[in-house]
Copies of this chain bind each other. A is one copy, B any other.
Amino acid sequence: MMRRVAVKIAYLGDEFAGSQIQPDMRTVEGEVLSSLMTIGGNEDDNLKCASRTDKGVNALGNVIVFSTNFNDDAVLLKALNSVSRGVFYRSAATVGDDFNPRYANERIYRYILPAAGIDIRQAEQCAALFEGEHDFIRFCKPDDRETRMNMRSVKLSKMNDIIVMEFRSEHFLWNLIRRIVSAIAAVGRGYASLDDVRRALNGEPISFGIARPDALTLIDIVYENVEFVVPSAEMFDARIEEELFRWSLRKTFFDSL
């Protein structure tokens, strides 16, 4: 019997030309669709994706929804992971026919910035300016959406030589986080002042540029009353082990150079 299932997926942004399907491009949605076909699905399965991510942006918890004949989530995820090239299917939940993944309670993003040259106190003060309700028109690439919105929290923490920033909100605007990060970095480096940021938040046409996409990750999307179940904690262990080993080989090379 067909049912709607929501699945949390992870991917590295630099392996795809963005999440949204495009002809002749390797995209996350294109890859998911191809995997769904391979395991017996079809184009009527009405695949929907919760958040669009730009080229280069990573996800650990984007959400897709589709119709399926599989009645066991563990079997479904195993089948998808076995044919997938670059998308990791992490957990699943059965949802109602009217479930729209775009309406979420909270989205959580993480940005990683090298700490070198950044005054963490200045950066923290700058981050705080973005919390709460603002018109973010100077911090996004305009599309049809309302630019006034509520940013629930922007948290910074320094870990060794990186600064980890965590953003929480019901929804985000196009390029919003990368533009905010660029402003926080500029203030932290002394290239811009807190007052410059305040003025931009008041609508003055000031641009602080845009930070690189590959340091941004969509960590999670939270829905009330939808509980995603991880079928097996060891699902990706072999792959993770191989990747971390390859990473240590490459690190050793550059450490020795």
Q: CB within 8 Å of B: which residues of A? A: 10, 12, 58, 60, 88, 90, 112, 114, 162, 214-215, 217, 219, 236, 239-241, 243-257
Quick one: given A246-B214, A247-B247, A248-B162, are A253 and B58 in contact (CB under 8 Å)? yes
**Can you name the residue of chain B whose Cβ is closest to the Cβ of A216?**
B249
Instruction: List, in ascending order, chain B residues with CB within 8 A of A241's CB.
Output: 114
Quick one: given A247-B251, A248-B112, A248-B162, are A257 and B214 in contact (CB under 8 Å)? no
Taking the closest CB of chain B, its distance from the CB of A145, in whole angstroms, is 28
Q: Bound complex: CA of A239 vs CA of B257, how far in Å?
A: 10
Instruction: List, in ascending order, chain B residues with CB within 8 A of A252's CB.
Output: 112, 217
**Can you name the residue of chain B whose Cβ is closest to the Cβ of A235?**
B257
Q: Bound complex: CA of A12 vs CA of B251, how far in Å?
A: 11
**Are A214 and B249 touching (Cβ within 8 A)?**
yes
Quick one: given A114-B245, A256-B60, A257-B240, are A250 and B10 in contact (CB under 8 Å)? no
**Are A244 and B253 touching (Cβ within 8 A)?**
no
Q: Bound complex: CA of A240 vs CA of B256, how far in Å?
A: 10
**Are A253 and B114 touching (Cβ within 8 A)?**
no
**Are B256 and A250 touching (Cβ within 8 A)?**
no
Q: List 17 A-B contacts (CB under 8 A).
A: A10-B257, A12-B250, A58-B253, A60-B256, A60-B257, A90-B257, A112-B249, A114-B241, A217-B252, A236-B257, A239-B254, A240-B254, A240-B257, A244-B254, A244-B255, A247-B247, A247-B250
Q: Bound complex: CA of A241 vs CA of B257, how far in Å?
A: 11
Instruction: List, in ascending order, chain B residues with CB within 8 A of A245's CB.
Output: 114
Contacts A114-B241, A247-B250 supplied; 16 other A-B pairs, CB < 8 Å:
A58-B249, A60-B253, A60-B257, A112-B248, A112-B252, A215-B249, A217-B252, A217-B253, A219-B256, A240-B254, A240-B255, A240-B257, A243-B250, A243-B254, A247-B251, A247-B254
Instruction: List, in ascending order, chain B residues with CB within 8 A of A251's CB.
Output: 244, 247
Instruction: List, in ascending order, chain B residues with CB within 8 A of A239's CB.
Output: 254
**Can you name the residue of chain B whose Cβ is closest to the Cβ of A236?**
B257
CB contact between A12 and one of B215, B244, B248, B253 (< 8 Å): that residue:
B253
Instruction: List, in ascending order, chain B residues with CB within 8 A of A254's CB.
Output: 239-240, 243-244, 247
